[in-house]
Each structure stands twice: as structure tokens, then as C-alpha cells.
Amino acid sequence: MRRTLVFTGQERVELIEEALPEPGPKGLLIETRCSLISTGTEGIIFARNFAPGSHWDNWVSYPFRVGYLNAGRVIGVGADVDGWRVGDRAASRGGHSSHVTVPADAAARIPEGVADEEATWMGLGKITQVGVRRAEHKLGDTIVIIGLGLLGQLVTQYVHLLGAREVIAVDTAPARLEMARAHGATAALQMTAAEALEPVRELTGGQGADVVYDVTGHAAVLATALPLARRFGTLVLLGDTGHPEQQTLTPDVVTRGVKIVGAHDSHPPMHSSTWVPWSSRAMEDLFLHYLARGRLRVGDLITHRFQPEQAAEAYGVLQRERATAMGVVFQW
């Protein structure tokens, strides 16, 4: 038998038991060690914080099997699978379950020196890369990051790696800003995006930022984020709001030529080709490589650990303590 977390309704989560699955001829059966809550996505689904008729509404129906950030040990290998053995450590996009089955070519081998709970961040590391690559950064860019949750913290580290001149973190939570400072932010503004216009101008010589990231997932932020970009700058929408009908544009798009770029997990293909070398799998492997080399750090971003039986408490913490809860891990 396996245990699986399921959202059974708005703000209702249950741990169910079901038959242990078979891996299939091209699959792996993984015994989970850790799984990470995707606080943005799972928070929206748990609270049902989305508009009727939205893409979220079309996707979410109960019971909803939740989670997509998983790390564990291979305990079953399909007959047609090469390169994997029982006992190998694997990171995957499997859910919050004691055992998951995934296609063998969709799993990643966890490098030596990377802890299981660190490897659970792989999916978020890939999602963040989608946005960072779409921004088409140049050496010496000035960056503003609005919203220093899980994705915002990873954006901070990626743009620091890429040689940003200034990395300006904007959030109302001091604990989040402190984490961003520890991972490459050169300035931390404890305020809303609406309040950040003058401070950002001062920090950028009156020009505004080359690239602004809206990683909040809050519809109202877009209109206050656009003015933070310089003339002909770029705004990357990396947070997927549950209320897109409330997002509004400003004259900055036309009068100052600010470009809006959308980034989403689903954009890259799973596997690389001549035309698309940076596939989902390639980006996931790069993220794990950076972790193994110490060029990215996520261990110190984990703030809470729970047993699966404590799932209701875990999601409650994310609702009550948004300002301080960051990485929340289930230990299976």
C-alpha cells in the first residue's frame, strides 16, 4: 500500500491509502523520502483562491492529487529501462505520496552531496529558469524582484550567478528580505511594489531596472511593477495569479516600450533537440549541478518539516505564517 495526500475540497486535505502501483515497462517506482510544498500553486488550490472560469478553475477538481516536487529511492525498474537500478536516488515531478511512478526519462539522478530535501527543489529550479531565460539577461543588468517566496529566492540566486550589477528585492516581509540578502540581493526594500518607485529610481540612477520580475501571483501587482522598469525594459510575469481578470496594464507598455514576458512551467519541451537545447530535463539537470557545486543553495531556505499525517497543520502554517514560512517539506 502507499499513502497519498489529496485535497478533498476547499481547505480540506486527507492522507489516503491505495494500492502500490507498478512502474510500467518504461517507468520507475520511487519510494519517497521527501516532498516539497509548492507554496504558490498549492496555496492557491488549497484555498481555492481563483476566479470561476479561469484556467485554474478548469484545472482543479476534487479530489485533487497534490504536489510535484519529490525525491526518493528507486525500488522498481521497468523492463525496458536502461541506466537506472534499484537503490538509485531520484528527483522527479511526483506528488506528495509515499511511492510515485514516473517515466524513467522524466526522472533525474540526484548528485552526490545533494540532500534529498534539497533535491525536491528541482522542479522549482526549472520553473524559475524558464523565466530567467526568457528575460534574456545581459552582463551588468539591474534587476528588481517583487515577491521573495520560493521562486523569488531562486530568481535572486540565478541573476546573481549571471552577473547582475544590482539585485533589488522588494517584499513586505523582513524575514524574506533577509534570506534574499543572504543569497545575492544587493538591496532589500521592505515595502510594496507601489511604494518602491522612488527607491528603485534612486538605486538605478533615475533609469529604472533593466528587468523586473513579478513573482507574487497577485493580480494587483502588475500595474505597480511596470513603472519600475526602465524605458524599453522587460517585466517577467513568473507568478501565475488565480485572478487574471483583475490584472491591468499601464501606459508604460506603450509610452515607454516596456515589454511583458510570460513564463510558465509548461513552456519548454520535456527533452532537448537541435532546435531547443534547453528542455525541461536539461534545466532540471543544470539546477542539480549547481546545487552539487554549491553555486545555488536551498537548504537554508527550508523552514518547516512535517510528517504526512500533519498535512492539515502544514497547509495551515502556510496560510497563517506567509511572512516567515518558506520551504515546507514532508518527510515520508
H, E, C per residue of 263-310: CCCCCCCCCCCCCCCCCHHHHHHHHHHHHHHCCCCCHHHEEEEECHHH
Q: Is 131 helix (H, G, I), strand (E, B) or coil?
A: helix
Give me the helix-helix angle, 122-135 and 150-161, nearest 10°. Answer: 60
Q: What is the pTM of this model?
A: 0.95
Q: What are phi and psi of 181, to 5 degrees?
A: -60, -40
Same-domain check for residues 84 and 204 = no
Are 29 and 94 members of one domain? Answer: yes
249 and 183 in a common domain: yes
Q: Are residues 209 and 170 in the same domain?
A: yes
Catalogue the long-range contacts made by 202-206 (C-beta closer than 8 Å, 24 or more residues apart): 203/142, 203/166, 203/168, 204/142, 204/166, 204/230
Q: Are residues 135 and 193 in the same domain?
A: yes
Peptide bond into 63 cis (omega under 30): yes
Same domain, 243 and 162: yes
Each residue's pLDDT tens digit, 27-42: 999 999 999 999 999 9
- Shared domain check, 254 and 147: yes
| Same structural domain, 152 and 208 | yes
Nearest to 322 by CA among 13, 34, 6, 43: 43
Strand order in the sheet with 229-237: 187-190, 166-171, 142-146, 209-214, 229-237, 259-262
Residue 201 contacts residue 223 (beta carbons within 8 Å) = no
Q: Taking 90 as the threshold, does the pLDDT of residue 266 lie above it?
A: no
Per-residue confidence band for 244, with pLDDT thresholds at 50, 70 and 90:
confident
pLDDT attached to residue 206: 97
On whether residue 77 sits in a domain, the answer given is yes
Euclidean distance between the first and the last CA atom of the chain, given in angstroms as a whole number: 14
- The residues, any chain, with a CB within 8 Å of residue 255's CB and separated by 6 or more, are none
The answer to whether residue 107 sits within a structural domain is yes
Q: What is the pLDDT of residue 322?
A: 84
pLDDT of residue 186 exceeding 90, the answer is yes
Asked whether residue 151 is domain-assigned, the answer is: yes
Q: Are residues 184 and 245 in the same domain?
A: yes
Asked if residue 119 has pLDDT above 90, the reply is yes
pLDDT tens digits, 91-115 = 999 999 999 999 999 999 999 999 9
What would the grid cell of residue 138 be? 545581459
Residues 132 and 117 reside in one and the same domain: no
Q: How many CA atoms lie within 13 A of 47 on its CB side?
A: 15
Contact call for residues 258 and 234 (beta carbons, < 8 A): yes
Check if the beta carbon of residue 84 is closer than 8 Å to that of residue 28: yes
Total number of domains in the chain: 2
| Domain enclosing residue 171, as ranges | 125-262
pLDDT surpasses 90 at 265 = no
- Choosing from 240, 262, 284, the residue where a domain stops is 262
Question: What DSSP element (H or E) covers 58?
Answer: helix 55-59
For residues 120 and 274, which has the higher predicted lDDT (pLDDT)?
Answer: 120
Q: Is the pLDDT of residue 272 over 90?
A: no
Phi then psi for residue 236, to 5 deg, are -100, 120
Is residue 205 in some structural domain?
A: yes
pLDDT value of position 269: 81
Q: What CATH number is attached to the domain comprising 138?
A: 3.40.50.720
- In a domain, residue 26? The reply is yes
271 domain-assigned: no
Last residue of a domain, one of 207, 237, 262: 262
Write out the DSSP string of 159-219: HHHTT-SEEEEEES-HHHHHHHHHTT-SEEEES-GGG-HHHHHHHTTTS-EEEEEE-S--T
CATH code, domain with 25: 3.90.180.10
Judge if 22 and 144 occupy the same domain.
no
